[in-house]
C-alpha cells in the first residue's frame, strides 16, 4: 500500500445504538421511502405510534425549492438542505439525506433548528435527548440567560426611572410649602405655551409678611407661608399650577381660565383667605396680599416674559392703591401697553 | 473589579437569609454608602471583601463559612432560581454537570461578558474522586464553589462528599467524592420551562 495515500474507508458500519448516540434524530428509509429505523429523540416526537413501517412522505411534507413527493426527487437532492413539515402539525424540522452504502436506502439526519425551544417544551425533551455535540442546549441556555439578564436590566432601569422622577419632583418643589418653585413655574409655562392652551397668570405678593417675621421670628414666618400654601391650594383647581417664586412672592398659572370677572372673584377669595388670622405659639399673625392678574388677552405670540410683566404691573397697581386688593391688568385693546 | 451582579447576589443572600436589618448593619459596617447594589455596575473588589468580612463579624462565623453559605444560596434559594436553572443546563445528571463545570466560566461570559466567575479545572484523582482547581482573583472563591456544588449535588439527588483542601499552586483545591451519582430523586428540572419571572431578585 502506498504510504502517502490517506486511508479512506469505502463504507462505515455502525450499530443502531451507536447511530442513536451520534444522531438521535435520524431516520432511515428503504428504496420505497418506508421508514426502517428511527433515532430515540425522533421516536419521542411520535410517542403514540411506531415510526418504523410508515412512509416518509405520508409523515412529512418534504420541500427544498419545490415539494418532494417521490424517492426519485429526494435522490436528486442528496446532501442538500431539506425542510420537513410534519403532517400532524408538529414543528418544522430541517435536515439532509445521504445514501446508505450497500442498499438503495437513505439516511436522514434531522434537527429542530431555531424551533428547538418550542420543541423541547412541547415534547418534554431533556439534555439527554441531544447528542453532546449538539449546540441545542447551549442555544436554550443563551436564550434563558438573555431573558434573566433582560429582566434584571428592566428591574434596574425601572428603579433608575423612579429615582429620576423623584429627583425631578424634588428639584421642582419648594421644600417649605410643598408648592412648585421657580423651576416648576418655568417648566409649567413652557409646557402650556407649547400646547397652545389659553391661561391666566396671577402674581401674588404678601402684605405685612415682613412684620410677622420681625415680630414673631422666622418660625412664625415659615408657619404663615405654609398656611398661605393651603389657602392657595384651596382656592385653585387641580390642574392649576401654584408656585412660590420668592420669599413672599407667589405665581399662579391657570389653564383654560374663566372670564375676567371670575378671575377677580378667585383673587378676592384668596385675599380673604390670607386675611384669616393665623395663631402661632400663643401669638396671632395677620397678613394680607396684593394680586395682579393677566388674562389670555394679554398674551401674544408666545411672549411669556411680557405676560409676566403685565401681571407684575397689575400687582404694582394693587400695591400703589393701598395693598390688600386684586387688580386686573387693563384691557390691551385700550392701550397702556 | 467585581461585577455588580455578584455584589447584588451577596446582598440578596444576606437579606434573604438573615433579614433586612442584618443587611443594613453589614452595609453600614462595610461603609457601603447605598442601600442596594446596582447589578449593572462594576465595583472595586475591596467592597465585596469588606462586605464578606462585615457579615462574618456580625454573624460570628468564619469568612469561609459565609462564602460557602453564599454558594449554597446561589444554587438553591428561590430568589435566585434562574441561577439554579442555568446551572442545570450543564448536564442531565450530576456526572455530566460535574464535567461541565469547566465550561462555567465561558458560559457565564456568554451571558454577561464582564462577569468574574472562577476558572475551574477538573481532574480524576481516583475512581469516583475528583479534584477541582479553582482559580480566581477573589480569595475564598473556592468556598463559594464548595457551597454551590454541594447544593447542586442535592439538586441532582447525588450523594457527594466535598472538602476544601486549601490553596496550592495559585488555586484553591476541592476534593469531590461522588459516592452515588443517583442517590435520591433530586429536584424537578424542566428544560423547556423557562419561567423568568423577576430576574435576579
Mutation target vs A (from B39, B84, B110, B194; most A CBs, 10 A cutoff): B194
pLDDT band at A333 (very low <50, low <70, confident <90, very high): low
pLDDT band at A303 (very low <50, low <70, confident <90, very high): confident
What percent of chain A is predicted at pLDDT more than 70?
A: 95
| pLDDT reading at A335 higher than 70 | no
Mean pLDDT of A134-161: 87
As a residue count, chain A comes to 337
Is B173:B56 a contact under the CB 8 Å cutoff? no
Is A329:A313 a contact under the CB 8 Å cutoff? yes
Q: Is A151–B38 a contact, with Cβ atoms under 8 angstroms apart?
A: no
The pLDDT of residue A128: 85
Other C-beta atoms closer than 10 Å to the C-beta of B8 total 23
Q: How far is B160 from chain A (nearest CA, A)?
A: 22
Render pLDDT for B107-154 as a digit per residue (tens, 0 to 9): 888 888 888 899 999 999 999 999 999 999 999 999 999 999 999 999
The pLDDT of residue A169: 84
Rounded CA separation A312/A108 (Å)? 88
How is residue A38 written as a grid cell? Answer: 428511527
Is B79:B201 a contact under the CB 8 Å cutoff? yes
Specify the CATH number of the domain A182-334: 3.30.70.270
Q: Where are the domains of chain B?
A: 2-60, 92-180
Option in B39, B96, B110 nearest A145 (CB)? B110
Rounded CA separation B199/A157 (Å)? 13
The pLDDT of residue B90: 86
What percent of chain A is predicted at pLDDT more than 90?
A: 59
pLDDT band at A337 (very low <50, low <70, confident <90, very high): very low
Considering chain A, what is the average pLDDT of its residues?
89
Q: Does B89 touch chain A (CB under 8 A)?
A: yes
Q: Is B40–A121 a contact, with Cβ atoms under 8 angstroms apart?
A: no
Other C-beta atoms closer than 10 Å to the C-beta of A336 total 10
Render pLDDT for A228-285 as a digit per residue (tens, 0 to 9): 999 999 999 988 999 999 889 999 999 999 999 999 999 999 999 999 999 999 889 9
Mean pLDDT of A7-19: 82
Q: Does B85 touch chain A (CB under 8 A)?
A: yes
The pLDDT of residue B159: 95
Q: Does A321 touch chain B (CB under 8 A)?
A: no
**Chain B residues touching residue A148 (CB < 8 angstroms):** 82, 86, 111, 196, 199-200
The pLDDT of residue A11: 79
Render pLDDT for A176-194 as a digit per residue (tens, 0 to 9): 999 999 999 999 998 888 8
Class assignment of domain B92-180? alpha beta
ipTM of the complex: 0.76
A16-132 and A182-334, same CATH topology: no
Q: Where are the domains of chain A?
A: 16-132, 135-171, 182-334
Beta bridge partners of B164: B174
Mean pLDDT of A304-309: 86
The pLDDT of residue A334: 54
The pLDDT of residue A207: 93
Is A140:A190 a contact under the CB 8 Å cutoff? no
φ/ψ of residue B49, rounded to 5: -55, -50
Residues 140-199 of B with CB under 8 A from A: 190-194, 196-199
Specify the CATH number of the domain A16-132: 3.30.450.260
Rounded CA separation B87/B123 (Å)? 20
Q: How far is A39 from chain B (nearest CA, A)?
A: 19
The pLDDT of residue B197: 43
The pLDDT of residue B200: 40
Q: How far is A56 from chain B (nearest CA, A)?
A: 28
The pLDDT of residue B12: 95
Higher pLDDT, B25 or A197: B25
| pLDDT reading at A5 higher than 70 | no
The pLDDT of residue A302: 67
Considering chain B, what is the average pLDDT of its residues?
90
Option in B192, B194, B200 nearest A152 (CB)? B200
Burial of residue B46 (number of CB atoms within 10 Å: 0-12, 13-18, 19+) = exposed
Q: Strand, helix or coil at A248?
A: coil
Q: Does A135 touch chain B (CB under 8 A)?
A: no
Annotated active-site residue in A103, A104, A248, A331: A248
Flag the least confident range among A288-292, A305-309, B22-26: A305-309
Q: Is A142–B110 a contact, with Cβ atoms under 8 angstroms apart?
A: yes
| pLDDT reading at B15 higher than 90 | yes
Q: Does A120 touch chain B (CB under 8 A)?
A: yes
Option in A127, A148, A149 nearest B191 (CB)? A127
Higher pLDDT, B135 or A163: B135
Q: Does B82 touch chain A (CB under 8 A)?
A: yes
Beta bridge partners of A284: A279
The pLDDT of residue B115: 87
- 3-state SS of chain B is CEEHHHHHHHHHHHHHHHCHHHHHHHHHHCCCCCCCCCCCCEECHHHHHHHHHHHHHHHCCCHHHHHHHHHHHHHHCHHHHHHHHHHHCCCCCHHHHHHHHHHHHHHHHHHCCCCCCCEEEEEEEECCEEEEEEECCCCCHHHHHHHHHHHHHHHHCCEEEEEEEEEECCEEEEEEEEEECCCCCCCCCCCCCCCCCCCCC
| pLDDT reading at B201 higher than 50 | no
Mutation target vs B (from A91, A120, A141, A164; most B CBs, 10 A cutoff): A141
Other C-beta atoms closer than 10 Å to the C-beta of A43 total 17
Is A110:A84 a contact under the CB 8 Å cutoff? yes
Mutation target vs A (from B7, B39, B189, B191; most A CBs, 10 A cutoff): B191
Mean pLDDT of B157-181: 95
**Chain A residues touching residue B42 (CB < 8 angstroms):** none
Rounded CA separation A233/A177 (Å)? 11
The pLDDT of residue A116: 87
Q: How far is A120 from chain B (nearest CA, A)?
A: 5
Mean pLDDT of B163-192: 91
Mean pLDDT of B72-99: 91
| pLDDT reading at B195 higher than 70 | no
pLDDT band at A336 (very low <50, low <70, confident <90, very high): very low
Nearest CA in chain B to A124: B192
Question: Among this protein's residues, is A248 annotated catalytic?
Answer: yes
Q: How far is A261 from chain B (nearest CA, A)?
A: 54
Amino acid at each position: 500500500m502506498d504510504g502517502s495515500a490517506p486511508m479512506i474507508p469505502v463504507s462505515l458500519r455502525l450499530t443502531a445504538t451507536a447511530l442513536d448516540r451520534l444522531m438521535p434524530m435520524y431516520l432511515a428509509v428503504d428504496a420505497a421511502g418506508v421508514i426502517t429505523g428511527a433515532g430515540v429523540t425522533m421516536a419521542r416526537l411520535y410517542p403514540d405510534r411506531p415510526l418504523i413501517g410508515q412512509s416518509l412522505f405520508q409523515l412529512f411534507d418534504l420541500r427544498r425549492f419545490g415539494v418532494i413527493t417521490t424517492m426519485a426527487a429526494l435522490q436528486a437532492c442528496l446532501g442538500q438542505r431539506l425542510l420537513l413539515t410534519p403532517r400532524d402539525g408538529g414543528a418544522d424540522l430541517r435536515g439532509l439525506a445521504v445514501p446508505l452504502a450497500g442498499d438503495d436506502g437513505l439516511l436522514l439526519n434531522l434537527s429542530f433548528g431555531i424551533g428547538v425551544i418550542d420543541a423541547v417544551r412541547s415534547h418534554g425533551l431533556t439534555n439527554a435527548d441531544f447528542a453532546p455535540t449538539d449546540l441545542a442546549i447551549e442555544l436554550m441556555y443563551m436564550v434563558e440567560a438573555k431573558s434573566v439578564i433582560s429582566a434584571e436590566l428592566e428591574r434596574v432601569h425601572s428603579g433608575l426611572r423612579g429615582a429620576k422622577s423623584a429627583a425631578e419632583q424634588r428639584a421642582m418643589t419648594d421644600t417649605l410649602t410643598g408648592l412648585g418653585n421657580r423651576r416648576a413655574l418655568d417648566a409649567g409655562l413652557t409646557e402650556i405655551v407649547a400646547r397652545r392652551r389659553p391661561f391666566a397668570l396671577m402674581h401674588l405678593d404678601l402684605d405685612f409678611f415682613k412684620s410677622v417675621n420681625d415680630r414673631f421670628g422666622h418660625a412664625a414666618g415659615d408657619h404663615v407661608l405654609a398656611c398661605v400654601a393651603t389657602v392657595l391650594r384651596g382656592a385653585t383647581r387641580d390642574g392649576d399650577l401654584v408656585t412660590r417664586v420668592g420669599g413672599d412672592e407667589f405665581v399662579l398659572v391657570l389653564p383654560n381660565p374663566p372670564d375676567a370677572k371670575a378671575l377677580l372673584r378667585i383673587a378676592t377669595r384668596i385675599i380673604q383667605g390670607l386675611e384669616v388670622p393665623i395663631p402661632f405659639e400663643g401669638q396671632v399673625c395677620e397678613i394680607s396680599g396684593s394680586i395682579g392678574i393677566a388674562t389670555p388677552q394679554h398674551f401674544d405670540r408666545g411672549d411669556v416674559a411680557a405676560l409676566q410683566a403685565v401681571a407684575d404691573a397689575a400687582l404694582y397697581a394693587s400695591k400703589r392703591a393701598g395693598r390688600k386688593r386684586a387688580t386686573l391688568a387693563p384691557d390691551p385693546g385700550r392701550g397702556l401697553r | 473589579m467585581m461585577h455588580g451582579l455578584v455584589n447584588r447576589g451577596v446582598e440578596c443572600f444576606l437579606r434573604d437569609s438573615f433579614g433586612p436589618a442584618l443587611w443594613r448593619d453589614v452595609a453600614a459596617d462595610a461603609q457601603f454608602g447605598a442601600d442596594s447594589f446596582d447589578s449593572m455596575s462594576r465595583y472595586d473588589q475591596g467592597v465585596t471583601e469588606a462586605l464578606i468580612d462585615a457579615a462574618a463579624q456580625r454573624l460570628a462565623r468564619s469568612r469561609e463559612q459565609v462564602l460557602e453559605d453564599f454558594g449554597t444560596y446561589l444554587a438553591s434559594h428561590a430568589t435566585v432560581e434562574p441561577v439554579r436553572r442555568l446551572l442545570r443546563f450543564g448536564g442531565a445528571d450530576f456526572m455530566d454537570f460535574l464535567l461541565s463545570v469547566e465550561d462555567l466560566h465561558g458560559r457565564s461570559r456568554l451571558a454577561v461578558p464582564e462577569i468574574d466567575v472562577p476558572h475551574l479545572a477538573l481532574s480524576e484523582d481516583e475512581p469516583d474522586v475528583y479534584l477541582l482547581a479553582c482559580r480566581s482573583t477573589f480569595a475564598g472563591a473556592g468556598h463559594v464553589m464548595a457551597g454551590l456544588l454541594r447544593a447542586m449535588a442535592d439538586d441532582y439527588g447525588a450523594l457527594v462528599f466535598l472538602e476544601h483542601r486549601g490553596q496550592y499552586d495559585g488555586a484553591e483545591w476541592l476534593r469531590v467524592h461522588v459516592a452515588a451519582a443517583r442517590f435520591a430523586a433530586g429536584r424537578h428540572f424542566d428544560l423547556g420551562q423557562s419561567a423568568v419571572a423577576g430576574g435576579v431578585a
